[in-house]
Amino acid sequence: MLHEEVMEHYELWCELNQVYADWCRAHGVSIHRLTVLEALWFQQKTGCTLRSLQDRLYLPKQTIHTIVDGLVKEGYLERLPSPEDKRTKVLRLTESGLAYAKTQVAPMYEWEGKAMRQLAPDDRAVMLRTYKQLIDALRTGFEEEDSV
């Protein structure tokens, strides 16, 4: 029984990723580009580094570099010296980059919000709590496995 539940979880995870990929394709943006834009938008006040994007998004380094280089060339993103370490560049969206990111990210949030509103508030709370519990259990299992 547990094996079937693990497999169903995996299938649902793949299906969810496919739904997001389909939405992105329908809106003319790659899922990786949208993911990077979303991260940059959320971290606009503090900025972020290539390394922090890699750590947060789990995308290949080359994929992130290609997207960042493209956004810089398009005038949507700038690389600024880090106040702490001049060798490190902080990535910040330009004014036009903020406007562009909003046109890409906001429709996704509206779409997600519309879908979430179809779930009862209690169901949303259970879903989020269950996600957190699963993440904690997976992390604990990984840490225990790693310490052996």
Residue 72 in tokens? 């810089």
Cβ atoms within 10 Å, residue 76: 20
Place of tokens 């949030």: 109
- Report the chain (148 residues): mean pLDDT per 10 consecutive residues: 90 95 95 95 89 93 96 96 86 95 94 97 97 92 71
Q: Give the pLDDT confidence score for residue 119 in this predicted structure.
A: 97
Q: Give the pLDDT confidence score for residue 142 in this predicted structure.
A: 75
Torsion sign over Cα 18, 33, 24, 40: positive
Q: Give the pLDDT confidence score for residue 32 in this predicted structure.
A: 95
Q: Give the pLDDT confidence score for residue 141 in this predicted structure.
A: 80
Q: Give the pLDDT confidence score for residue 143 in this predicted structure.
A: 75
Q: Give the pLDDT confidence score for residue 148 in this predicted structure.
A: 56
Report in angstroms the alpha-carbon separations of 59 from 35, 40, 74, 99: 10, 14, 21, 24
Beta strands in 23-123 (DSSP E): 77-81, 89-93
Q: Give the pLDDT confidence score for residue 72 in this predicted structure.
A: 97
Q: Give the pLDDT confidence score for residue 65 in this predicted structure.
A: 96
Contact in structure between 120 and 109 (CB atoms under 8 Å):
no
Q: Give the pLDDT confidence score for residue 63 in this predicted structure.
A: 96
Q: Give the pLDDT confidence score for residue 58 in this predicted structure.
A: 92
Domains of the chain (ranges; CATH) run 30-117 (1.10.10.10)
This prediction's pTM: 0.83
Q: Give the pLDDT confidence score for residue 124 in this predicted structure.
A: 97
Contact in structure between 111 and 23 (CB atoms under 8 Å):
yes
